[in-house]
Amino acid sequence: MKYTDEQIRDMVQLKETIIEKLSKYEEEIAFLQKTLDILDVNLKDSSFIKASHIPKNNPTENVDTPDLQEDNETIPIKKSKDGEIIANAIVTPEQVSIILKDGIGLTPEIPPLKTFFVERIIGEMKKNDDRLVENGKINEESVIDCIINKNGSAIREIIIKNYREKNRVDEIINTATWSLTRMMENSSK
């Protein structure tokens, strides 16, 4: 069967598009698998309490106390391929501040910051919080919020306020690491 030059070009372009999409899906599958592994570890750690850790004098616990960290904690965010530190996450009981290293030069428009991190990850947490507000479980001021501060056009820091739960911090840092790494790859293309 003979194909015209245009048909061959179309087939080559189609093949390149399919290869590109496969690569993106493989990255997303790897990220989702890593996230599942982290969730499994967190669930395992929070589901089982060793007998030696059960308090003897205090039989009742306040279940409503959120699992927040007492002190500020700084967590380096590293590129997944070479381990280069690209940002630092400062975790306080009220917020997570992801401060990019000088010279990184990423803009908010570079994917997947808005589509994945802000809209999908933080957006889902916000939807859950909005449901809790509707049900009267939390007040409106406690809903998670994401603020992107820039220095010119480049991102200086990403602030996530009202995360409220330790497992959210882990998810925020893991997805921010993945998103920032992908953004750096996309900006160098």
Residue-wise pLDDT tens digits, 16-72: 889 888 887 887 787 777 777 777 666 665 555 544 454 544 433 333 434 444 568
Q: Are residues 86 and 20 in the same domain?
A: no
Model's pTM, two decimal places?
0.61
Q: Are residues 83 and 42 in the same domain?
A: no
Q: Are residues 84 and 147 in the same domain?
A: yes
Lowest mean pLDDT segment, chosen from 53-67, 70-84, 166-180: 53-67
Range among 29-33, 66-70, 81-85, 100-104 rated most confident: 100-104
pLDDT at position 30: 77
Q: Are residues 106 and 176 in the same domain?
A: yes
The token pair at 158 is 């990403």
Q: Are residues 173 and 136 in the same domain?
A: yes
Q: Residue 184: is its pLDDT beyond 60?
A: yes
Structural domains of the chain, count: 2
Q: Are residues 93 and 168 in the same domain?
A: yes
Structural domain containing residue 106 = 73-187
Q: Are residues 139 and 171 in the same domain?
A: yes
**Residue 123 domain-assigned (yes or no):** yes
In the predicted model, what is the mean pLDDT of residues 148-157?
91
Higher pLDDT, 188 or 108: 108
Q: Are residues 38 and 112 in the same domain?
A: no
pLDDT band at 158 (very low <50, low <70, confident <90, very high): very high
**Residue 65 domain-assigned (yes or no):** no
In the predicted model, what is the mean pLDDT of residues 130-135?
93
Q: Are residues 19 and 78 in the same domain?
A: no
Q: Are residues 9 and 44 in the same domain?
A: yes
**Residue 59 domain-assigned (yes or no):** no
Q: Are residues 168 and 119 in the same domain?
A: yes
Quick one: three-class SS letters along the chain? Answer: CCCCHHHHHHHHHHHHHHHHHHHHHHHHHHHHHHHHHHHHHHHHHHHCCCHHHCCCCCCCCCCCCCCCCCCCEEEEEECCCCCCEEEEEEECCCEEEEEECCCCCCCCCCCCHHHHHHHHHHHHHHHHHHHHHHCCCCCHHHCCEEEEEEECCEEEEEEEECCCCHHHHHHHHHHHHHHHHHHHHHHCC
Lowest mean pLDDT segment, chosen from 13-27, 56-70, 96-110, 170-184: 56-70
Q: Are residues 112 and 160 in the same domain?
A: yes
Average pLDDT, the chain: 82
**Residue 90 domain-assigned (yes or no):** yes
The torsion angles phi and psi of 155, rounded to 5 degrees, stand at -70, 130
